[in-house]
Chain A
Amino acid sequence: MDALDRVVKPKTKRAKRFLEKREPKLNENTKNAMLIKGGNANLTVTEVLKDIYAVKKPFAVLYKRKNITRPFEDQTSLEFFSKKSDCSLFLFGSHNKKRPNNLIIGSRMFDHHVLDMIELGIEKFVSLKDIKNSKCPEGTKPMLIFAGDMFDVNEEYRRLKSLFVDFFRGPTVPSIRLAGLEYVLHFTAVDGKIYMRSYKVLLKKSGCKIPRIELEEMGPSLDLVMRRTHLASDDLYKLSLKQPKGLKPKKKKNISHDVFGTTYGRIHMQKQDLSKLQTRKMKGLKKRPAEKSAEDGGATPKKSKSA
């Protein structure tokens, strides 16, 4: 309830909703990305930013003006932007002689402080416009595929993989329409280079239920080479990965499953007085009145009424 805990409380419902959208929550919003042009961004870099904006459409902000900053030296302006627009991912494009066609992909956590930044150089770029195919509707959740063992062996490539997943993931949904799996992003790490290709998926009939896949190239394709990196320290990264306790799925106690699939449940009872148990009434076993009085007379002598 951070909005109501401020010194100056919001006066309108709209302001309150705005503040509540931005405060830290148990289940977080989808991460927004900001696409920034550096002081000397050339045509290639601008095209790349525009294409990636098209891919990430509702969850990205493209800044039109050039911003003269150097992310690797000074992160304060980036942090300011992220605070203002509530974006936690950024993509910064620039170009100079030493680093031509430079793209810095970054992510942050904890109150808008920069966590990881990786600088990639664009070797080849084919834009959305250059490939004359039909495109898929914007806002489709893409499928992500990473190929190559470099993505697990090298620490920097591992962080890059997690950055890419975070960037292109889209909103987390509980269910998905199977016919709507149209877009796939394929990353291959080979030979020190990373090839990113986007394909449109065509589902063809095969004999059985699962369709056969045919791919059609569409969308931006990038050849990237890794340059500098600025990775967060391990303990800071671990702190950011920590999920709050409320998110863990609650374990149902006293339910267990058999190998064969039978579900067993345990019931805990209090101690029962077995002599007072209500069992089935068998009329044949009922005590006849003669027997009853004989037992009573012997076992429990009744008090005789005083005259």
Chain B
Amino acid sequence: VEAVLAAAEEQEAEKRRSITVEKELELEYDLGNLLAVDRNPPSAAALRGAGPRREALLQALARDNTQLLVSRLWELPAERAGGAGGPLVAQLPEPTFRLPREKPPPKPRPPTRWEQFARLKGIRRKKKTSLVWDEPAKEWRRRWGYRRAGGDPSRAWLAEVPAGADPDEDQFARLRREKRERVARNELNRLRNLARAHRAGSAVPAAPLHPTGHQDRDELRRVARVARVSTASLGRFQPRLPKESAEPPSRSGGKKRRFEPLLGNLAAERSRQLELLRDMGSKKPVLDITRAVNKQMRQEEAEAAAANKGKKQSKRGKRGRRQQRPGRSGKKSGVRRQPQQQKPAGGGSGG
């Protein structure tokens, strides 16, 4: 009897041997993705060899790993799909290998004006039936849409004149006009809600605060300003770069005028008053006419260029524009030479 048992055990072991694989380190499995990772360092020396031996080695390695993975997969709870004769189907677990998403998760949109009001008042949606009983047609019809319950509104042949209305008014025209107005108002409200949601979303842009490499200068400046102000002291003691502007950015963006205090720096007030007297007494004009004229001319030229840009750019082409420039600058430099000589020391505040 013992011999028989031993022989049976031998046979079992023999069978098992064909599917067992010896490995130093266990593989890591992610069965949801049908993935297996083998951490054992492969024999580098053997694999460095030439073609067919390497292929054979790689195939042997692959066979072992696949055997392990398939054994794991066949151990999963399986059932016969589609009755007794159907294929054997295993339930896969959730994939555990973390992979980056394709798009950011969807953000819930902010509630519309009506939704806010309804929440405030506690108004809830009444569930409506999809079909309504239509008495004249004696059947169930849709609430709105194709073949609706109240008959086709465009074929209404009777329009009652309401009590206080003008008898000469065209009632059909009035109904049509009112419908158009209602549709327009609806569309306007929808666009307003969209704009409100968009504005609320862009007030706190979370994604652009991460550098993507595609931001332009203004965006970067805005992001840098947000980052500076987001300290406990609202950015007052943050160190600055050598070329950055020194004063803190005003919250109103420079719209309000700022005045000097009344009883402040006496020395500064004195020097300002003396300068004013000096300018009033001097014979030279405060306004430098040549510079003013130059500035005006330059402005007009710029405007003319901007106006002609759309029309004449194709005509003149690159070469035409390149030839134009030395001529232009010659004219400018010629005019400018005059004020360089007469430039007064302290005048020309307006320039």
Contacts and interface: CB of A to CB of B under 8 A. Distances in A.
Interface of A: 1-2, 5, 7, 23-26, 28-29, 31, 75-76, 88, 107, 109-111, 113, 115, 141-149, 151-152, 161-162, 165-166, 169, 172-181, 184, 186, 188, 190-191, 195, 197, 199, 201, 203, 206-215, 217, 233, 235-237, 239-244, 249
Contacts of B97: 162, 165
A29 B212 CA distance: 24
A210 B32 CA distance: 19
Given A109-B104, A145-B69, A178-B88, 8 more contacts: A144-B33, A162-B99, A188-B61, A199-B66, A207-B16, A209-B74, A211-B19, A249-B94
B106 interface: yes
Contact of B58 (A31, A184, A188, A210): A188
B231 interface: no
A186 B103 contact: no
B14 A165 contact: no
Given A191-B44, A197-B58, A211 B102 contact: no
A148 B40 CA distance: 6
A179 B88 contact: yes
A241 B101 contact: yes
Interface of B: 11-12, 14-16, 18-19, 32-42, 44, 47-48, 55, 58-59, 61-63, 65-67, 69-71, 73-75, 78, 81, 87-92, 94-95, 97-106, 109, 191, 194, 197, 207, 210-212, 214
A191 B74 contact: no
B48 A199 contact: no
Which of B38, B62, B87 has the most C-beta atoms of chain A within 10 angstroms of its own C-beta?
Answer: B62
A191 B207 CA distance: 39
A197 B62 contact: yes
A188 B61 CA distance: 9
A146 B39 CA distance: 8
A68 to B, nearest CB: 21
A147 B16 contact: no
B90 to A, nearest CB: 5
The 4 closest A-B pairs by CB, nearest first: A207-B15, A244-B105, A240-B100, A24-B103
Contacts of B102: 24, 28-29, 31, 88, 109
A155 to B, nearest CB: 15
Contacts of A144: 33-36
B112 to A, nearest CB: 10
A235 B100 CA distance: 12
B103 A197 contact: no
A197 B59 contact: yes
B62 A184 contact: yes
A207 B36 contact: no
Contacts of B19: 206, 208, 210-212
B69 A143 contact: yes
B42 A165 contact: no
B31 to A, nearest CB: 9
Contact of A213 (B47, B61, B70): B70
Nearest to A193: B47
A175 B90 contact: yes
Nearest to B46: A190
A148 B15 contact: no
Contacts of B89: 175-178
B7 to A, nearest CB: 14
A158 to B, nearest CB: 11
9 contacts: A23-B106, A109-B104, A110-B104, A145-B66, A147-B40, A176-B34, A179-B88, A190-B47, A212-B19
B70 A235 contact: no
Nearest to B27: A145
A113 B214 contact: yes
Given A115-B100, A181-B70, A24 B106 contact: yes
Contacts of A240: 100-101
B10 to A, nearest CB: 12
Contacts of B65: 145, 147, 186
A241 B91 CA distance: 25
Contacts of A109: 100-104
Nearest to A215: B63
B67 A212 contact: yes
A213 to B, nearest CB: 5
A107 B100 contact: yes
B90 A25 contact: no
A214 B64 CA distance: 9
A72 B124 CA distance: 55
A25 B102 CA distance: 10
Given A111-B103, A239-B210, A177 B37 contact: no
A191 B34 contact: no
Nearest to A161: B37
A226 B16 CA distance: 40
A44 B6 CA distance: 58
B70 A211 contact: yes
Contact of A145 (B14, B36, B92): B36
A254 to B, nearest CB: 23
Nearest to A141: B34
Contacts of B78: 178
Which of B32, B95, B101 has the most C-beta atoms of chain A within 10 angstroms of its own C-beta?
Answer: B101
Which of B92, B98, B100, B105 has the most C-beta atoms of chain A within 10 angstroms of its own C-beta?
Answer: B100
A215 B58 contact: no
Contacts of B61: 147, 186, 188
A16 B34 CA distance: 35
Contact of A184 (B32, B38, B66, B104): B66
A165 to B, nearest CB: 6
Which of A7, A29, A143 has the most C-beta atoms of chain B within 10 angstroms of its own C-beta?
Answer: A143
B73 A190 contact: no
Given A142-B34, A148-B38, A240-B100, A207 B91 contact: no
Nearest to B78: A178
B193 to A, nearest CB: 9
